[in-house]
Amino acid sequence: MTRMFTVLLIAHFCSGAAPLAFAAEQAEAPMCDPSGACTADTNLTAVAGGKHIWASSRLYTDAPPLELQKWLTDKPELEGKFVVIEFWRTWCGACKRMTPLMNTLHQKYGKELVVIGITGETEEKVKAYAGPKKEYFLALDQPQPVTETTGAAEQPTAAKEEASPVATLPDQADGPTANRPGQGKYEAGFGVWGWPHVIILEPQYRTVVWEGFTGLKGYELTEAKVEKMLAIGRAMKAEEAAKKK
């Protein structure tokens, strides 16, 4: 398989939303600078036929190298595995609601994918976190100077009723900014301003094949989507192995 076809194939079967032709059209949308950083023209980015994300879209572009400040757990082995990255905050109610899904992906598919929770908050704040236990890998983002001090809540958000439409949205700042409290360099590269924001990278090129808020109604990240993704990954490995014989 060619590189772009492989990436689009994974994304298409895992999104369950857009026709493959539309996905190919979207693949050319991001604008990339010489350093390889890619962003979209709008802050509230629509992707895959109406889906919205609270970040800059990096779909179908290669993620930058995963350079972090410190691992709070053992460092995972990433070679040959899909990588699920969750940008989160200790005060984020939506992050707490989505933790069980991340735990399930880690426990059920840990041999084929790695789940990593990344925050730019301090180690002390993470250690003091009293929400649902995150059973996957955790790391601190590289720090950067804070120039924006408003927009991102620094206190725990009020509990939300699960029946409320608000429960299907991420916890949001008032818009994107280059750097705000709790935002490290890696997260800033994705322009995140709603948490949790999740990206999934395929194993061969570390291309983003899924992005967004995992609980967004109608566009949820589900075990079924992940299973399809992994099945395609296995087929790709088998094809590569066959070529080497």
Q: Model confidence at 240, in pLDDT bands (50, 70, 90)?
A: confident
For residue 156, give the amino acid letter: P
Q: Which of 74-83, 133-142, 179-188, 202-211 has the lowest mean pLDDT?
A: 179-188
For the question of whether the overall pTM of this predicted structure is more than 0.85, the answer is no
Q: Which of residues 30 and 12 earns the better pLDDT score?
A: 12
CATH number of the domain encompassing residue 12: 3.40.30.10
Structurally, the chain folds into a number of domains equal to 1
Q: Model confidence at 149, in pLDDT bands (50, 70, 90)?
A: low
Domain extent for 75? 3-244
In degrees rounded to 5, what are phi and psi of residue 115?
-105, 125
Q: Model confidence at 85, in pLDDT bands (50, 70, 90)?
A: very high
Q: For all residues of the chain together, what is the average pLDDT?
A: 80
Q: Would the pLDDT of 206 be above 90? A: yes
DSSP line for the chain: --HHHHHHHHHHHHHSSS-HHHHHHHTT--EE-TTS-EE-SSSEEEETTTEEEES---TTSBPPP---SEESSPPPP-TTSEEEEEE--TT-HHHHHHHHHHHHHHHHHTTTEEEEEEE-S-HHHHHT--SS---SEEEEPPP------SSS--SPPPP--TTSGGGGS-EE-SS--S--TT--HHHHTTT--EESEEEEE-TTT-BEEEEE-TT-TTS---HHHHHHHHHHHHHHHHHHHHHH-
